[in-house]
Structure 1
């Protein structure tokens, strides 16, 4: 579910009306509209406490597939609503191209997710025809994922996780590394150098 500016909404409504009046055929099957320099907010019905915000160089609307594609996505953000009405940033998303389907789910060929709680970075890639997929109800999944944080670095095949990262699972690949006393730590969602230990 999108909440767009009044002008952008009017453009989409006009396009939908014109499209509905066109005859079916090969030319119509290739029809669509592209909007440039867009900012949009996504309010998933399956996840009412979350708001996604995106900025992209272009938005391609495909009414036949009920899909919208963001090209040149600078960064996406997932915000969580608090009981007092304020919002807190939960994670950021980077991807060259991002498809939003009719259920507000997201998919991409590759994407990077940064979770502020724990400063966890997920570098996610598609493989064997399976895309990076973000399900608004259950979380995210990808066939190839590299997970890194100030203290961990490990890779997974067939990875999936909820948004809070509490039930992450997958087939761990060899080569994982962990640091008991890493040189950097997570503080307020940012990776910062560890303060030097005081000597007795």
Structure 2
């Protein structure tokens, strides 16, 4: 910061509340319509604010989207960060799968926001995908390879094992309407999925 440059003032409580209200509204709109289909007018309406008021906090639709994605990426990486190299291999991998399934259950809109961004070519988060995400996946793939070499789990391609966990857990958030339509009333998709995926991965990982 330059010597004569004024320090940025912290947000007031009302400003913090309005900013969070905008982000919550944007999450709802983006998860339904994607980045291209969403408009600032829609976000402002859901937030209960005027468009000029919204633009006071965020200069553009893209700025709101980037803010949501940066927050989401950190939360998305936490379940994989928790995979412990010193733990029991099968239980650690199953624990990761369960954490990802819980994330889909508890944050379906965030999952769809992420999926929509990736389907559009990830123009606003490619740096994060090639940076933090790739580094963490490569780190944990090394752990999986070490477990395989030691004969503690079956010889499976580590990156594709992680991809399969993503696909089989995030599906329940991204295709929630389809899943519930097919299963019908009286089913808990996530409880049923956990039991099935536990069995699937235990059999796959057995050395």
Indicate the TM-score class for this superposition, using the shorter chain for normalisation. under 0.3
Structure with greater proportional strand content: 1
TM-score norm. by structure 1 comes to 0.25
TM-score norm. by structure 2 comes to 0.24
Structure with greater proportional helix content: 2
